[in-house]
Amino acid sequence: MFDFPPLIVYAVILVVFVAANLILTHLIGPKKRTPVKQMPYESGMDPVGDARQPFNVRFCLVAILYLVFDVELLFLYPWAVSAFVDDPQASGGIPVELRGAVFGIMLAFTATLVIAYVYAWRKGVFKWR
């Protein structure tokens, strides 16, 4: 219970810092508005065309698949690190009696992702025509 005052002090300092930066930016920032400053930034190039044009849905599909397999790695990496700790005295490792069950769960998790990958492959998500 006595560990909270440093966190509260840190939160207050954080809020004051953010508020001070917002206020200082508003007060001493540039005020002159020009057409060049009002243009959207496009990686150093002049923007061409309308930003509201339709784009291919495959970009969204690839992004979703990336997130799925990225999250898979987020689950697999800590399991792999903690499952193969050889020292029984090491903290954070999976107990020996639970390693078989956890391994089976991870195999089921990986099999589910492989099924999703095969399904996406069969639907032609990875083909760019």
Question: Would residue 73 count as lying in a domain?
Answer: yes
Question: Would residue 29 count as lying in a domain?
Answer: no
**Which 3 state secondary structure label does DSSP give 23?**
helix
CA separation for the pair 71, 121 (Å, rounded): 19
Q: How many domains does the chain have?
A: 1
Instruction: Tell me what pLDDT residue 103 has.
Output: 85
Question: Would residue 85 count as lying in a domain?
Answer: yes
Lookup: tokens for 90: 């090491």
Instruction: Tell me what pLDDT residue 1 has.
Output: 57
Instruction: Tell me what pLDDT residue 8 has.
Output: 92
Question: Would residue 65 count as lying in a domain?
Answer: yes
Tens of pLDDT, residues 32-91 = 888 888 877 777 777 777 767 787 777 887 888 888 888 888 888 878 877 767 665 665
